[in-house]
Amino acid sequence: MALYRMSWAGARLAALDGLNGRLALLETAGTATGGLLGGMIAALDGTYVLLIVSVVFLSLTSLAGAVIVFPRDVRWVGAGMREGLRAELAAIAAMAKRPGDVRLVVALSVSAGVAMVTLETYWQLDLLALMGDSWEWVLGIVSCLGMVMASVGSACAMRCGGLAEEFFRGQGRRGLYIVLHASILVVLGALALATSAAMFVGLYTLMYLLLGARSVIEQTLLHNAVSSQERSGMASVQSVAIRGGGVLSSAVGSPLVLLVGLSGV
């Protein structure tokens, strides 16, 4: 019976790896396409009017499709907006306080928000400082490369997540998740020491490779730790944590630029 439970748990985690990996691949494919097209459009039209109109149109189309396809949560049908929002916020707060994998993911999501917003706010300025302003057209290509490497990382995690159970005995995917997150922070720090454009681009793409793998393992841990009914709420918790880290990065980043310079941030 114990062996059967272990086998079932392993199959469940593998299935979650596969599902989360496919979702990550779709997301990074869209972002990579946007990065590549954005760089091309910027080279043709510096006003970005066409790009902005396209993004707004696609966003509205996606929103309309989501409203049609996904029904309202049955828990709040019949409840007023204020009561439903209050109940949802209370449920989210309770989820964030759970011990174990949930608390770990929430904490590291704040850290990830700081890292990602810091990277995306300053990497273009730092790279242009190494290459020169005449190379602006390369930025879209570099962004696309980052997303391609994120897809590679997601695909690797999707297929190799089960190896973590053997390599990190007693910790499994949790141990792999912590190692990936620590590696991302190390690579982010190394970007500040990059002395050439090639070195910078290499570290940038490596960071996105790690981010892609981390995302899949993170979602597997999170979905395995909560019930199906709680997953949408838990996704909100994680989203708030990431954006909280982003706000922290934005608030601290500007004063740091004045004190220690762009690369110091």
Query: Which CATH number covers residue 204?
Result: 1.20.1250.20
Residue 202 in any domain: the answer is yes
Closest CA to 248 of 116, 123, 125, 127: 116
What pLDDT sits at residue 210? 93
Q: How many domains does the structure of the chain reveal?
A: 1
Instruction: Return per-residue pLDDT of the chain as tens, 265 residues.
Output: 444 444 545 565 666 666 666 666 666 666 666 666 666 665 565 555 666 677 777 777 877 776 676 665 555 555 555 676 677 667 666 766 666 778 888 888 888 888 888 888 888 888 888 888 778 778 888 888 888 888 888 888 877 766 766 676 666 778 888 889 999 999 988 988 888 999 999 999 999 999 988 888 888 888 787 776 677 677 777 777 888 887 887 777 666 656 655 555 5
Residue 22 in any domain: the answer is no
Residues 6+ apart with CB under 8 A from 130: 194, 195, 196, 197, 200
Residue 39 in any domain: the answer is no
Residue 185 in any domain: the answer is yes
CA count, 13 A, side-chain hemisphere, 239: 7
What pLDDT sits at residue 182? 93
Residue 26 in any domain: the answer is no
> 82: domain range?
71-250
Q: Are 125 and 265 in contact (CB under 8 A)?
A: no
Residue 6 in any domain: the answer is no
pTM assigned to the model: 0.69
Residue 137 in any domain: the answer is yes
Residue 186 in any domain: the answer is yes
What pLDDT sits at residue 201? 93
What pLDDT sits at residue 198? 92
Core vs surface per residue 218-256: b (16+ CB within 10 A) or e: bbbbbbebbeeebeebbebbbebbbeebbebbeeebeee
